[in-house]
């Protein structure tokens, strides 16, 4: 009997993670079937379709086209749309990724219909309840039957919350992705040439979290810091559409002038830039970890991170949104950092373990 898995994705990081697991599912024809649902949370082609194309993810069977709006409005519309699909498809599992509104909507819709939920990246905690992502993670974990943890630290977080049944440390599917695509990105991407960049001769930056973008003071501090760093080294800012909009609303456009501002990048172009950068400055959880995988020093514009291992191993610094702290951290970076002495994110076979557990096979 074929196991039917309904996968729910909606944002760039989820497309990337789903690529690894979907590729593994295709290795088991006749045993497991995947139905992909795209909520439309990221609807810009540069943040959506390009990832399906480059990563060879199966085309979504359903696209809810729900993008924009408040957290409550977006999640509610997703919940309604996903519920209809679940009633029609009657899957054996609902597979969710990460910590977005799409994740939460999928978890709630499935739980209310008594369909078991499997959560990839379970157990991550920033311990900052002001972050929407933290609320989404906690609630998704509480209703999941299979909790796929990327690290031992995530397992321990769940244990402290009384969650032990169905918990598995499978490793990080993002590490699977990094190993699979890093050489392909080096060989096929022309982004360095098109931006006239040289390896180890530029800084890569991203900024998208609401705590930074919605506050004009914090966003101004970040942009001032990037502009200061750009006096000595090119700074490539991959600009999220929402961040660009808020920069305009806050009247901060002048700080973009010293930067090399680019639209959201295709996956392989982003990986090529991450590997070649002298340093990465970001508030993205996924980009922090990719920096770690590629042994590029990272400065994180937050006071906490769900990826604490990157800080503990000396590869990531938390600096908040202070211009002075960002600039100081950058000035103190070693040009050729020593890579981590251990890899806490598994062995590159997390996706295989996820599929085996969905099929009911022992680890």
What is the mean predicted confidence (pLDDT) over 170-181? 95
Mean model confidence pLDDT for the chain: 93
What is the mean predicted confidence (pLDDT) over 109-138? 96
The catalytic residue among 208, 228, 240, 250 is: 208
CATH class of 3-172+346-358: alpha beta
Query: What secondary structure letter does DSSP report for 338?
Result: P
What is the mean predicted confidence (pLDDT) over 221-242? 96
Q: How many CB atoms lie within 10 A of CB 271?
A: 26
- Would you give the end-to-end CA distance of the chain in angstroms? 21
Task: Supply the pLDDT for residue 11.
Answer: 86
Catalytic residue status for 114? no
* Residue 87 confidence class, pLDDT cut points 50, 70, 90: very high
DSSP code string of 185-232: HHHH--HHHHTT--TTS-EEEE---HHHHS-HHHHHHHHHHHHHHTTT
* Residue 1 confidence class, pLDDT cut points 50, 70, 90: confident
Residue 63 pLDDT exceeds 70 = yes
Phi, psi (degrees; rounded to nearest 5) at 125: -145, 130
Q: Look at the domain 180-331 and name its fold.
A: Rossmann fold (3.40.50)
Task: Supply the pLDDT for residue 81.
Answer: 97
* 186 conformational bin, left if phi > 0, alpha if psi -120 to 50, beta if neither: alpha
Task: Supply the pLDDT for residue 142.
Answer: 98
Task: Supply the pLDDT for residue 164.
Answer: 97
Residue 335 pLDDT exceeds 80 = no
Query: What secondary structure letter does DSSP report for 68?
Result: -
Task: Supply the pLDDT for residue 336.
Answer: 45
Task: Supply the pLDDT for residue 340.
Answer: 61
The model's pTM is 0.90
Phi, psi (degrees; rounded to nearest 5) at 3: -85, 120
Q: How many CB atoms lie within 10 A of CB 211?
A: 17
Task: Supply the pLDDT for residue 109.
Answer: 98
The ranges of the chain annotated as CATH 3.40.50.2000 are 3-172+346-358, 180-331
Q: Cα-atom radius of gyration of the chain, to the nearest Å?
A: 20
């Amino acid at each position: 009997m074929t196991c039917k898995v309904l996968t729910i994705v909606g944002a760039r990081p989820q497309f990337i993670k789903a690529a690894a697991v979907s590729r593994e599912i295709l290795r088991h024809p006749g045993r497991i079937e995947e139905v992909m649902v795209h909520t439309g949370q990221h609807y810009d082609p540069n943040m959506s379709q390009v990832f399906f194309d480059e990563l060879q993810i199966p085309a979504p069977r359903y696209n809810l086209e729900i993008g924009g709006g408040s957290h409550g409005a977006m999640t509610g519309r997703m919940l309604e749309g996903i519920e209809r699909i679940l009633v029609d498809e009657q899957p054996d599992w609902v597979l969710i990724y990460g910590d977005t509104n799409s994740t939460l909507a999928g978890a709630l819709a499935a739980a209310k219909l008594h369909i078991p939920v499997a959560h990839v990246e379970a157990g991550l905690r920033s311990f900052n309840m002001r972050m929407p992502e933290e609320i989404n993670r906690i609630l998704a974990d509480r209703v999941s039957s299979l909790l796929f943890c990327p690290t031992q630290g995530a397992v321990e977080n769940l244990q402290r919350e009384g969650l032990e049944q169905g918990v598995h440390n499978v490793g990080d599917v993002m590490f699977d992705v990094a190993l699979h695509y890093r050489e392909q990105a080096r060989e096929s991407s022309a982004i360095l040439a098109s931006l006239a960049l040289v390896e180890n001769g530029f800084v890569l930056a991203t900024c998208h979290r609401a705590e930074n973008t919605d506050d004009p003071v914090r966003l101004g501090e970040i942009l001032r810091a990037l502009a200061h760093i750009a006096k000595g080294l090119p700074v490539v800012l991959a600009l999220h559409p929402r961040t660009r909009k808020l920069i305009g609303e806050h009247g901060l456009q002048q700080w973009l002038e010293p930067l090399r501002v680019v639209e959201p990048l295709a996956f392989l172009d982003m990986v090529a830039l991450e590997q070649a950068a002298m340093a990465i400055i970001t508030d993205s959880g996924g980009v922090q970890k990719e920096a770690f995988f590629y042994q590029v020093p990272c400065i994180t514009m937050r006071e906490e991170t769900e990826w604490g291992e990157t800080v503990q191993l000396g590869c990531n610094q938390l600096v908040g949104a202070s211009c002075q702290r960002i600039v100081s951290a950058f000035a103190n970076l070693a040009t050729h950092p020593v890579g981590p002495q251990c890899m806490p994110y598994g062995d590159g076979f997390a996706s295989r373990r996820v599929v085996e557990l969905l099929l009911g096979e022992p680890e």
